[in-house]
Structure 1
Amino acid sequence: MKPLLIITSYFPPEIGAASNRIYHLAEGLKNDYDVSVVTPLPNYPTGKIFEAYKRKFSSNTEDHGITIHRLWIYASISKNKFLRLFAMLSYSFSLIWFFMWHKIPDKVIVQSPPLLVSFTCMLFLRSKKRKLILNVSDLWPSAGLELGALREGFAYNLLKKLEAFNYKKADLILGQSNEILTHITTITAQPQLFLYRNFPEIEIPKFTTTNSDKGKIKLVYAGLLGVAQGIYRLCNELNYDTIEFHIYGSGAEEEVIKTLIESQKDLPLYFHGRLDRAELHQVLLKYDITIIPLLNRIYGSVPSKIFEYAKLGLPMLYFGGGEGEHVIKDHNLGWIAKESDYKHLNEVLAGIKLSDLNVTLKAAIQNTAKHEFDFKKQLETLKKVL
Structure 2
Amino acid sequence: MTIEPAYPNKNMYKDPKFWDDEWVNSREDNITRVQLKNQHSSRNLISRLFFYIEMMYRFFSNLWDAKDKKYDYILVSTPPIFIVFSAFIAKFLFMKKTKIILEVRDLWPDSLIGVKIFDYPIIIRFFRYLEKKMYQNADYIIINSIGFREHIERKLKYPKKIIYIPNGPRAHEIVKEKEHQEEFRVVYTGNIGLAQDVEHIKSIAKLLHENNITFHVIGYGVKAKEFQNYIEKNDLHYVHFQPPATRKESLKLIKSCQLGIAFLNDEEVFSTVLPGKIIDYMTCKTPIIAGVKGTAAKIISANQTGFAFNQSDVHAMVEKIIELKQNPQIIEEMGQNCIKTVEKEFLWEKNIHKLLQIIT
- Which of the five TM-score ranges fits, normalised by the shorter chain? 0.7 to 0.9
Contact 1:72 1:90 in 2 (8 A): no
Match of 2:178 among 200, 207, 213: 207
Q: 1:43-76, CA deviations, whole angstroms, 9 ceiling, x for partnerless residues?
A: 22115594489xxxxxxx9634881110111344
1:45 aligns with 2:8: yes
Corresponding residue for residue 218 of structure 1: 185
Q: Which amino acid aligns with 1:236?
A: S
Q: Which amino acid aligns with 2:170?
A: E
Match of 1:302 among 271, 274, 278: 274
Q: 1:172 to 1:266 in 2, by over 3 A?
A: closer
> In structure 2, what is the Cα distance between the partners aligned to 1:48 and 1:165?
36
How far has the Cα of 1:167 moved from its partner? Answer: 0.6
Corresponding residue for residue 116 of structure 2: 148
Match of 2:323 among 351, 362, 375: 351
Contact 1:170 1:191 in 2 (8 A): no
Q: 1:116-159, CA deviations, whole angstroms, 9 ceiling, x for partnerless residues?
A: 22223223334541110100011111222233223251110011
Question: What fraction of aligned residue pairs are identical, expressed as a percent?
Answer: 22
Corresponding residue for residue 3 of structure 1: none
Match of 1:274 among 244, 249, 252: 244
Match of 1:100 among 61, 64, 67: 64
Corresponding residue for residue 236 of structure 1: 203
Q: 1:182 to 1:358 in 2, by over 3 A?
A: closer
How far has the Cα of 1:382 moved from its partner? Answer: 2.8
How far has the Cα of 1:358 moved from its partner? Answer: 4.3
Contact 1:281 1:312 in 2 (8 A): yes
> What does residue range 184-199 of structure 1 map to in structure 2 within 5 Å?
184-188=152-156, 189=158, 191-199=160-168
1:120 aligns with 2:90: no
Q: 1:244 to 1:66 in 2, by over 3 A?
A: same
User: Larger deviation: 356-365 or 113-122?
Assistant: 356-365
How far has the Cα of 1:192 moved from its partner? Answer: 2.2
Contact 1:136 1:174 in 2 (8 A): yes
How far has the Cα of 1:317 moved from its partner? Answer: 0.9
Unaligned runs of 5+ in 1: 1-37, 54-60
Q: 1:177 to 1:288 in 2, by over 3 A?
A: same
> In structure 2, what is the Cα distance between the partners aligned to 1:156 and 1:233?
29
Counting helix residues as a fraction of each chain, which structure ranks higher? 2
Aligned residue for 1:352, secondary structure, equals helix
User: Larger deviation: 350-359 or 129-138?
Assistant: 350-359
Q: 1:266 to 1:330 in 2, by over 3 A?
A: closer
> In structure 2, what is the Cα distance between the partners aligned to 1:361 and 1:67?
42
> What does residue range 256-271 of structure 1 map to in structure 2 within 5 Å?
256-266=226-236, 268-271=238-241
How far has the Cα of 1:209 moved from its partner? Answer: 2.2
Contact 2:303 2:337 in 1 (8 A): no
User: Larger deviation: 115-124 or 305-314?
Assistant: 115-124
TM-score normalised by structure 1 residue count: 0.80
> What does residue range 9-48 of structure 1 map to in structure 2 within 5 Å?
38-47=1-10
How far has the Cα of 1:177 moved from its partner? Answer: 2.2
1:332 aligns with 2:304: yes
> In structure 1, what is the Cα distance between the partners aligned to 2:53 and 2:15?
23
Contact 2:79 2:106 in 1 (8 A): yes
> In structure 2, what is the Cα distance between the partners aligned to 1:94 and 1:52?
27
Contact 2:165 2:354 in 1 (8 A): no
TM-score normalised by structure 2 residue count: 0.85
Contact 2:220 2:244 in 1 (8 A): yes
Aligned residue for 1:335, secondary structure, equals strand
> In structure 2, what is the Cα distance between the partners aligned to 1:128 and 1:198?
31
1:322 aligns with 2:294: yes
Aligned residue for 1:148, secondary structure, equals coil
Q: Which amino acid aligns with 1:167?
A: Y
Corresponding residue for residue 109 of structure 1: 75
Contact 1:302 1:323 in 2 (8 A): yes
User: Larger deviation: 202-211 or 272-281?
Assistant: 202-211
1:370 aligns with 2:343: yes
> In structure 2, what is the Cα distance between the partners aligned to 1:286 and 1:159?
43
> In structure 1, what is the Cα distance between the partners aligned to 2:162 and 2:358?
10
> In structure 2, what is the Cα distance between the partners aligned to 1:67 and 1:230?
39
Q: 1:226 to 1:49 in 2, by over 3 A?
A: same
Corresponding residue for residue 216 of structure 2: 246
Aligned residue for 1:221, secondary structure, equals strand
Aligned residue for 2:180, secondary structure, equals coil
How many residue pairs are counted as aligned between the two chains? Answer: 338
User: Larger deviation: 255-264 or 124-133?
Assistant: 124-133
How far has the Cα of 1:287 moved from its partner? Answer: 1.1
Q: Over aligned residues, Cα RMSD in angstroms?
A: 2.5
